[in-house]
Amino acid sequence: MVPPMPWYDIYWPWTWWFAGDPVVVSADAGDASDCADIHARAFRRGWGPDEFERLLADRAVTAHRLDLGRPMRATAGFVLSRRAADEAEILSVAVHEGWRGKGLGRKLLDHHMGRLAATGIKSLFLEVEAGNDPALALYRGAGFREVARRPGYYGGGKGEPKRDALVLHRDLR
Ligand SMILES: CC(C)(COP(=O)(O)OP(=O)(O)OC[C@H]1O[C@@H](n2cnc3c(N)ncnc32)[C@H](O)[C@@H]1OP(=O)(O)O)[C@@H](O)C(=O)NCCC(=O)NCCS
């Protein structure tokens, strides 16, 4: 469910007017609430600000966000990965619906993968719901390949159909 966010909903339609091109910057715990808002709008089960605060403060997590710059620190999207040895897994990626389809998901992911590769990560994994066409287009375009399928992994709640999960991999070497 999308939580009530009056200032957000008033602010977003106008961001195109005074913001330049969003730039990719590192995200930290101060971005938890913006990331939680975007996540709640993008996914059926949103993660709360507390969950984002914990993840963004975790030293094993690499996080980037699309910064809209002035007049206030605002975020148009984010991506988070957890590192373990020379592998990493993308935990979540989302772009605010008002900024989708403009190449920003690609810009965010390319920057993120570049930073992970620069810190010695060789393998990057993620999980995506089969049928999430925008996400699959983003990942396939970025060089990810399917390595496994988990039948009926998502859904299955009351009146909810089960949906497969795809595990994708990208070699960063
Ligand atoms: C997936 C998501 C991050 C993509 O962000 P975006 O900024 O719209 O992506 P881009 O504009 O950079 O487009 C990336 C690719 O997806 C394609 N695409 C974008 N929207 C699409 C749509 N609605 N249907 C099909 N393809 C689409 C683009 O054509 C582009 O492909 P190309 O590089 O081959 O031309 C965004 O749709 C989103 O936040 N979705 C909700 C959250 C989500 O599902 N996250 C992924 C969970 S695993």
123 vs 37: CA distance, rounded Å: 29
Output the pLDDT for position 155.
Answer: 85
Question: 111-130 in b/e burial notation, b at 16+ Cβ within 10 A?
Answer: bbbeebbeeebeebbbebbb
Take atom 22 of ligand 1 and give the residue whose Cα is closest. Answer: 134
Candidate of 35, 108, 138 to mutate for ligand 1, largest count of ligand atoms within 8 Å of Cβ: 138
pTM of the model: 0.91
Residue 153 has pLDDT above 80, yes or no: yes
Candidate of 78, 97, 100, 164 to mutate for ligand 1, largest count of ligand atoms within 8 Å of Cβ: 100
Which DSSP helix (H) or strand (E) runs through 54? helix 49-57
Residue 130 has pLDDT above 70, yes or no: yes
Contacts of 63 (CB under 8 A, 6+ apart): 26, 27, 28, 31, 55, 56, 78, 79, 80, 81
Tell me the CA end-to-end span of the chain in Å, nearest whole number: 39
For the chain, percent of residues with pLDDT exceeding 90: 77
Q: What mean pLDDT, rounded, does the chain reach?
A: 90
67 vs 25: CA distance, rounded Å: 7
